Every structure is written in structure tokens, then in C-alpha cells.
Structure 1
């Protein structure tokens, strides 16, 4: 971890608790207590309102806020390209959120970097090809975010139809298709589904719990996830 990142994390840790010992900071950041003492001293010298002493603990006085974010040029390029991809490939709500995020970043970075950000020549053209989806992708994102089961009619690669109730776990875009990884109640196992093959989609408003063996982590850690490519558009579908 870079020292600048460590100093930032120290401030964040001090924000979360009324008092934090140097020992706890050292364990959290995987450095020696001596390093923490030196970092605390340097933060105080630079004007960060930290009170306390070694052996007792440290407190960050209320009202302190970090200065505006500073980005390197390559970090700006990563942010702009990522946001432009979301603006192009995401649904309307996500696209607007990406635009708002870029506007907020532009508002806090220095003037010289603001111009560089506006002129970054990394584009995500809007004339890309994506298989049409019959429902609002934002509703699927809501289901994934809030752990809500979804129902839909599905046609597999051979055109065979079935009705599914699934626990949505993640969404991935494999141009030109969006793919849902889910726990399928019909198959009692993990499955992936192309969103463009879904019809009569509905969010059930029925919450599901993160059960062992049925989570995204469980899906991703299976060897066949990587050897058979179940996250690909045709991977492990019925």
C-alpha cells in the first residue's frame, strides 16, 4: 500500500470509531505501530485535527473533511472510459447516474485536470450492436441489489421454452448480450440466462437470503465456472 493511501485509510478508520489505538490501526493496515506513530505525527503536522497519544488512543475531531480528490491522468482516463461505457451500454437510469458521477468529479478536481478530463480521447460509440431486451434492465438491477426473486419465461438456444423463478446474483455484458447468473429454483442449481431470451419478466418482491452454496461467491469459486465458462452467453444454460 502506498503511504498516501495508508494516510487516507488512517483518517477513514479514525472517522468510524470514537477512539482508535495505534495497535488497532497497525493491525488493520498491516504495518508496525512505529509506522503508525510516525504517520499520526505527520498527519497532525499537516493540519489534520487528531488528538491523543501513544498507548491511549487517537481521536479525530468532529467537522474535519478531506480535501478534494486528486487524480492522476491515467486514473481520469479510467474513470471517463468506464463512465462512457456505462452511458452507452447501461439502461437509462444507469446512464444518467454515470453522467452525474462524471459531473461531480469534474466539480472537485483542479482546473488543469478538468480540461484534460473533458478532452480525453477514449470513447464508447453509441452505434454498437446489442440484442434487444423486452423489459427494463433497471428492474433487474434492482432485483440483484435488493435480493429479490424474479420470474420470467425463457427460451434456450434450441428454442425450448420454460418458466423460471430464480435468485438473481449478477449481471454481465458480453456484447451483444446481457447475461444473468442466478440460482434457478427449477433446476435447483446455478444457471446463466441471456436477457434477450426472457419474456414476461417480473420482480416478485419476494426477498431471498444469502444461503451457503447458493451465493455469487459460491458460483464464482466452482472450477467449472472458469473451465466451462458459465458466465459466457452459452455457458451452463438449459
Structure 2
């Protein structure tokens, strides 16, 4: 596969399973209803495992614009490849969100609360404060990116054997830091599905909370670049 196709498929799988576990936990009349944050964090970690496993060979399995930009800043990816990766990740995230909507269409219809519907697609803070929400997302992505940089082998890209440790890092971040903001730690993961929420014909739909949307996009990029800088200083 080309890097574009690899990143597209890997990110689509990531979002199908990741947003899928959220849908299973929060939407009405599902088998997993009220499964809680622990079920969501484990589901997202498996989603990361599957996405990395699929995309590792052909693109290095970034699946995350923050990762792509941090690796480019460290000269581990040519800058002319960055737009290809970013486009594939955003489109893959949108495709994954579409598949979740198709799978859970009846349950969206049975869920009267529009904010709960939105939660399937994108993150939102438990306590809304832009400064603190931004800091939380930055810290989470900083830890994620720094750990990933120590996992990446000399080839400068993730391999299939790296899927499990990366998934475990995401699991740890979700369990430890997921409470305040829902741990986006990935601009495409949040923005792509948010766009789909705005587009799709969802019964009783609310607005897509664009006032908050910049935080899970900008903060992960800042966190990843800070991690790259710290890694560069240490090495």
C-alpha cells in the first residue's frame, strides 16, 4: 500500500473501533450501555492496536497529525510527505465515524440526548475551562509522543511489533488523564468525526460544539512538538 492508503485504512479502523466503543457505552439500548470509562479506554487501546498493526508496514502507522508533525520536526519524515499523511488521517477518521453511524443508526435514533450523541463523535470537557482543558490535552499528548519516540526503532517508523506497547500507552493515558477532557491526543480523531457529526442526518442533533473544537486540535500538536523538543535535547 502507499503511505496514503495505509494511513487512511489504519485511521479508519482506529476510529471505527474507538468511536464504536463509545457508541456501545453511551447510546440507548445497546448491549454495552453504561459500561463506563474503563470499557471506553480499553476499547480505544484495542482500536490503537488494530490501527497500528494494519498501517505499520507501509506508512509507519502515525494515524495522528500530531505524531506526523513531531516526526517531521525531528527529520524522521520528509516535510513533503506531511500533507499526504495529514489528508489520509483526516479522511480516514471521517470514514471511521461514518461506519460507526451506520452501525449504530437505530441507537442514535433511540437516544434523545443530543449531547450524548455528539460524545460518540468527539471529545468534550467534563468542566469547561479553555486554559485547563488545553493544558490537560497538551500533557496527555506530550506523554504519549515522548513514549512513542522511545518505542520507534532506528528505522524511524513503527513496526507491527510496536502495536501493543503503543496501545498500552494509550490505555494508561485514558485511565489516568481521560477524566477532564476525554483524552483526544489526536487532532484527526476529534476533528474528522466532528465534521461527520455536522454533516450526517442524525435525529435530534445539536450543534457540533465548534467553540471547543480548536483545543483537541491545537493542544495535541503543541504537546507532540514539545515532546519532540525534549527528546531532541536528551539525545
TM-score range normalised by the length of the shorter chain: under 0.3
TM-score of the pair, normalised by structure 2: 0.22
Larger RCO of the pair (alpha carbons < 8 Å, separation 6+) = 2
- Please identify which structure carries the higher strand content: 1
Larger Rg: 1
